[in-house]
Amino acid sequence: NAGVTQTPKFRVLKTGQSMTLLCAQDMNHEYMYWYRQDPGMGLRLIHYSVGEGTTAKGEVPDGYNVSRLKKQNFLLGLESAAPSQTSVYFCASCDVRNEQFFGPGTRLTVL
């Protein structure tokens, strides 16, 4: 039982490049979330999903897209990376009891 895993752990991009962050959970959770963490600002919700095939916007969705084609996976895409997207990205999943389990994070730098 791996819990929540994130791929990759680190990435450096140039402005304008695209990439996809993968989140996987093996707990059969319905709900999944993508957050970004910036110094002094806590975690901010980017997008979330309440089930396979559904997604919704969070606090800071601009510049990101997501997909939940399979229940266990939640993908976060950056179509054209910008330096403002330099951050640590956390994925989380939770069940109906609303206890969120977090992945280890992905540190992204956009030059």
Interacting residue ranges for another protein, rule: CB under 8 A: 31, 33, 35, 40-45, 48-50, 56, 58-59, 88, 90, 94, 97-102, 104-105
Nearer to another protein, 16 or 51 (CB): 51
Give the contacts of 62 (CB within 8 A, at least 6 positions apart): none
Closest CB 97 distance from another protein, rounded Å: 8
| DSSP E strand boundaries for 1-111 | 4-7, 10-13, 19-25, 31-37, 43-51, 54-57, 65-67, 73-78, 87-94, 100-102, 106-110
Nearer to another protein, 17 or 102 (CB): 102
d(CA 46, CA 58): 5
State both tokens at 22: 């993968």
Nearer to another protein, 35 or 78 (CB): 35
Closest CB 81 distance from another protein, rounded Å: 22
Q: Within 10 A of 106 (CB to CB), how many other CB atoms are there? A: 23
Closest CB 16 distance from another protein, rounded Å: 28
Closest CB 18 distance from another protein, rounded Å: 25
